[in-house]
């Protein structure tokens, strides 16, 4: 029993010792195994960390590729209200974990993803979406009834597809600065005239109007009947 207890205590002591030594060794450096925007940034000195953040900042100057229902489009980050905060990201990278298990895992090469600090100006983003609505969204097709050879035919409506604006900021934060296209989240929206209304109009007023002869009234009381065919 005592041997087992001593063994457990020995393991705990060794773990504490390892964590303590690692705290001293990594003081002033970034977290072991850290990555930011897909770049290695673990256990780096302030100078090396700045180099990594400069590479991330350079990406922020490039056009953002967006995947929309119409295809791909490129826009500037400022037009989308995006801004990269390098200083706040640096603080995240330098935030050493207090969890000993995570620190030990870092010693064995475990990856720890640090999200870059990105702000999204919703006013700028919404203004751009409004200006680019025709390019980014698919309009709904309204329903109608037309006549073919004397019979009413229903043109059923089709739902439109628009950008899901409440979900978009999260998608931009996740994909921007990783140098890959960002698929813009979308949502369907219904046209003003429903399919049921179109069917009711076809089977009701439109069918009734074509059920018998159509009387045309002319000048001086002249009338003429036309049979729908």
Q: What pLDDT, in 10s, does the model give residues 34-83? A: 999 999 998 899 899 999 999 999 999 999 999 988 888 999 999 999 99
40 part of a folded domain: yes
201 part of a folded domain: no
130 part of a folded domain: yes
Identify the pLDDT of residue 28: 57
170 part of a folded domain: yes
**Position with higher pLDDT, 165 vs 107:** 165
60 part of a folded domain: yes
- Say how far residue 178 (Cα) sits from the centre of its chain: 14
Is residue 94 over pLDDT 90? no
Q: Tell me the pLDDT band of 151, cut-offs 50, 70 and 90.
A: confident
Secondary structure of residue 47 in the 3-state scheme: helix
153 part of a folded domain: no
Is residue 85 over pLDDT 70? yes
196 part of a folded domain: no
Q: What percent of the chain has pLDDT over 90?
A: 42
Alpha-helical runs (H) found in the chain: 2-25, 46-60, 86-94, 100-107, 122-131, 133-136, 168-175, 195-201, 207-209
Is residue 150 over pLDDT 80? no
d(CA 6, CA 1): 9
**Residue 13 belongs to domain spanning:** 2-136+158-189
- Say how far residue 202 (Cα) sits from the centre of its chain: 40
> Span 17-42, mean pLDDT?
73
16 part of a folded domain: yes
Q: Tell me the pLDDT band of 194, cut-offs 50, 70 and 90.
A: confident
Least confident of 18-22, 43-47, 126-130: 18-22
Is residue 3 over pLDDT 60? no
The total domain count for the chain is 1
């Amino acid at each position: 029993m005592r041997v087992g207890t001593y063994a457990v205590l020995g393991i705990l002591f060794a773990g504490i010792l390892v964590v303590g030594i690692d705290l001293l060794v990594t003081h002033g450096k970034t977290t072991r195994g850290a990555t930011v925007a897909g770049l290695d940034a673990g256990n780096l000195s302030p100078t090396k960390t700045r180099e990594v953040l400069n590479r991330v900042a350079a990406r922020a100057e490039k056009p953002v590729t967006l995947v929309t229902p119409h295809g791909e489009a490129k826009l500037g980050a400022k037009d989308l209200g995006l801004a990269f905060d390098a200083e706040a990201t640096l603080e995240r990278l330098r935030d050493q974990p207090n969890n000993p298990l995570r620190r030990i895992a870092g010693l064995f090469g475990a990856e720890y993803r640090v999200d870059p600090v990105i702000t999204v100006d919703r006013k700028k983003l919404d203004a751009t979406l409004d200006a680019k609505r025709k390019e980014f969204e698919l309009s709904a097709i309204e329903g109608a009834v037309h006549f073919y050879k004397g019979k009413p035919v229903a043109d059923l409506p089709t739902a439109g597809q628009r950008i899901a604006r409440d979900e978009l900021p999260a998608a931009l934060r996740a994909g921007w600065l990783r140098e890959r296209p960002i698929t813009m989240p979308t949502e369907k929206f219904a046209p003003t005239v429903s399919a049921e209304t179109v069917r009711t109009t076809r089977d009701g007023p439109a069918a009734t109007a074509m059920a018998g002869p159509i009387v045309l009234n002319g000048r001086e009381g002249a009338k003429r009947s036309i049979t729908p065919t």
